[in-house]
Amino acid sequence: MAEASKGIKNTQRDINISFMNELAQIFHLMSFDTNNVLEVAQNKWNFLSFKPGLVGGHCIEVDPFYLAQKEQENGCNPDLILAVRRINDGMGEYLSLQIIKLMLKHELVVKDAKILVMGTTCNENCSDIRNTKFLEIIKHLNEYRVKTTIYDPWANHEEVLTEYDITTTNTRPKQEFDMLILAVAHKEFIETNLSPLKH
């Protein structure tokens, strides 16, 4: 009962975030600002406040699969749960492609472009890197042969190197970059003027 309860709670969050992710893609095609639309929607007292984003971590990404497995073992088809996982698992590739399109739109040379990726943890203001999704962005950006620097004041850079074979820094870089990617909304990033890092 306890495990089922936990699985339901995390799967419910997964479902709500996937809905926001799908809406964000639709609104992007319609040239709507997703944050503005969600802000207006919150005028309804019972609106569930979720935002689009990468879904990683030790629980919310894993528990839906446990629940789906139990459904299958008992003769049910976990159509919704697996569809939700596909949407959320595809966000890294989707965001990477949007970043490349944005660079081309602003006539930035993609190859060898200097990109700062800010954040490696699975949630803001924490050091947990388990099942983090920033890797998906790095993986797909590297296909375009950009030069990424990864900065996270919360994550242990030795742990990231050991776990994912990726070099990161805990210290704010002093060089300028062609593009900044806010992968995790740490308070240091939100409360700091990032303009000196841009060309």
DSSP 177: B
Residues belonging to the chain: 199
Report the DSSP pairing between strands 179-182 and 114-118: parallel
* Residue 171 tokens, joined: 């210290």
Point out the residues that are catalytic. 59
Nearest to 17 by CA among 79, 69, 88: 88
* Residue 44 tokens, joined: 């309804």
**Helix, strand or coil for residue 16?**
helix
